[in-house]
Amino acid sequence: MTNFLRLTVGEIQRMNKYQILPSSLFVILFWIGFLYFVDDTFINQMFAILVFVDASIMSIIFVGATMFFEKQEGTFRSLMVSPIRKSDYILSKGVSIVVSNLLTVVLLFAFVYWVKGANINLIGFIAGVSLIGFFHAILGFWMSFYAKDFTSLIMRSSLYMIVFVVPVILVELQVIQTEWFAYVLYIIPTQASMNVLNAAAGIPLETWEIWVSASYLLAVTIGIFFITLKKFDVFAQKEGGQ
């Protein structure tokens, strides 16, 4: 087993011990309750929206929580004097959050499939959520660089939600129906995320839209990973060296 896998397994175990995974399960139960009351006609769309929220905003908050536990308990320092690559450390954070996201997808899928009889492309969702969850986990990791404490991260996450997540949902629910606004949203990665999930949910989209969205999401994920990797030394020095 490589150190990347050891870090990932350790991260998932700690997410359980620190009540992050149980919190995630509690949120899933809440969403299952919500989906129970959704009309079958809209179940695919609502499923995609809930998965979108989980893979975006919840990923940022969960990775932030793990970072702040590590900073608070000094374990970040201990990890920084261990024989691990910084890329392995960052990747392990992203992958363990994706595991949590996939747990949400599988449990919600099981509910809508067996209880609501929905026809959803599970493989498509797994692929989409892996990309969206990973992107947002790395974004959350990067945001925690600049957050003084967990409250500060929550404030930043809320701002991100208002600016990047809520408008996408409002357009999705047709609360905002202005056509130009929908196109403006194409410049933000959350709209690309929604498009990818909509495609998996069987909501009609142009083929080019799906490919452009997936490619865009992949590009920004690679971009933010390398930016985070580059900034990591400054962060590690700030947290471990000062």
Partner 1 sequence: MFQVEQLSYTYPNGNEQTLKDVNFHVNKGEIFGLLGPSGVGKSTTQKVLTKLIQNYKGAVLYKGKDLTQYGKDYFEDIGVGFEMPVHFSKLTAEENISFFKKLYKNPADTDALLKRVGLYDDRKKKVSEFSKGMKVRLNFVRAMINQPTMLFLDEPTNGLDPVNSRIIKNMMKEYRNQGGTILLTTHLMNDVDELCDRVAFMANGTIAEIDSPKNLKQKGSARTVIVEYMSGNKQKTDVFNLDTIGTDDAFLSIIQQHKLLTMHSQETTLEDIFIQMTGVKIDD
Q: Is 17 in the site for partner 1 (CB under 8 A)?
A: yes
Helices 86-114 and 3-17 meet at what angle, rounded to 10? Answer: 50
* b/e burial code for range 135-160 (CB count within 10 A of at least 16 → b): bbbbbbbbbbeebeebeebeebbeeb
**231 makes contact with partner 1 (CB under 8 A):** no
User: Which CB sits closer to partner 1, 206 or 238?
Assistant: 238
Among 34, 40, 42, 75, binds partner 1 (CB under 8 A): 75
Residue 148 CA to residue 242 CA, distance in Å, equals: 14
Instruction: Report the nearest approach of partner 1 to the CB of residue 9 (Å).
Output: 9
The binding track of 24-63 with respect to partner 1, each residue x by CB under 8 A or -, is: ----------------------------------------
Q: Does 233 bind partner 1 (CB under 8 A)?
A: yes
Contacts with partner 1 by CB under 8 A: the residue count is 29
Q: Is 148 in the site for partner 1 (CB under 8 A)?
A: no
Amino acid type, 241: G
74 binds partner 1 (CB under 8 A): yes
What residue type is 115 in one-letter code? V
**For the window 187-226, what string marks contact with partner 1 as x by the rule CB under 8 A?**
----------------------------------------
Burial class (CB in 10 A: 0-12, 13-18, 19+), 166: middle
Distance of closest approach, residue 150 Cβ to partner 1, in angstroms: 16
Contact between 82 and partner 1 (CB under 8 A)?
yes
Sole binder of partner 1 in the list 27, 45, 77, 170 (CB under 8 A) = 77
Percentages of the chain per state (helix, strand, coil), in multiples of 5: 85, 0, 15
Separation between Cα atoms, residue 66 and residue 194, nearest integer Å: 26
